[in-house]
Amino acid sequence: MHQIEPHFLWRHLYRASDDADSPFYNTEHSQFEFTNKIYNYAIHPQWDYFGSDTLLLKVLFVDYEKGYAILEMIGEWNDCINNDIATLKREIIDEMLECGIEKFILLGENVLNFHASDDSYYQEWWEDTPGGWVAFLHFRDHVMDEMEAAGIDSYVRLEEDDEATWNWKTKKPEHLFEAVEQQVGKMLS
């Protein structure tokens, strides 16, 4: 897992460590020291720790004018034991909401497992974004199945088969946002 880096092709457009409104403002990352881990596995030092022992993230892009953020996740999403959604909501999402972010894209191809608890923090997140939405993209099928079984899909939009979002790494962040916003608009109408 130490070789899995967060997406870096947008670093010339946005860096959370340079954004005064970011929860990770002034965070310094080593290129060589592996300080973060999930269980006994070292994680690439570019991932950001936000309080969960099993889940890390990277804020890839934020557009304050359009009110959206793109976050990439890695690890095990464990609401049952660690209440990762509560930690994510309180430490990251609430700060972004205060800055006017109401549309969230979470990329989860590196989320290996999901363990559900109740859906109250997902409901709270949904209620806190009356003009926006939360979209989970590229989570593994078994993770999506677990999220749907827990009823989380009532509050977040889980990816449908949409070719416009498949090659997200080759897109500019605004093009990914536009594709997801169009997809979510169809789902909500």
Q: Is residue 147 part of a domain?
A: yes
Beta bridge pairs of residue 55:
75
For the chain, the domain total comes to 1
Which CATH number is 93's domain given?
A: 3.30.750.24
Q: Containing domain of residue 162, as a range?
A: 50-188
Position 30 scores a pLDDT of 74
**Tens-binned pLDDT, residue by residue, of the chain (189 aa):** 667 889 999 999 999 999 999 999 999 887 777 778 888 888 888 999 999 999 999 999 999 999 999 999 999 999 999 899 999 999 999 999 999 999 999 999 999 999 999 899 999 999 999 989 999 999 999 999 999 999 998 888 877 666 667 788 889 999 999 999 988 877 766
Position 44 scores a pLDDT of 87
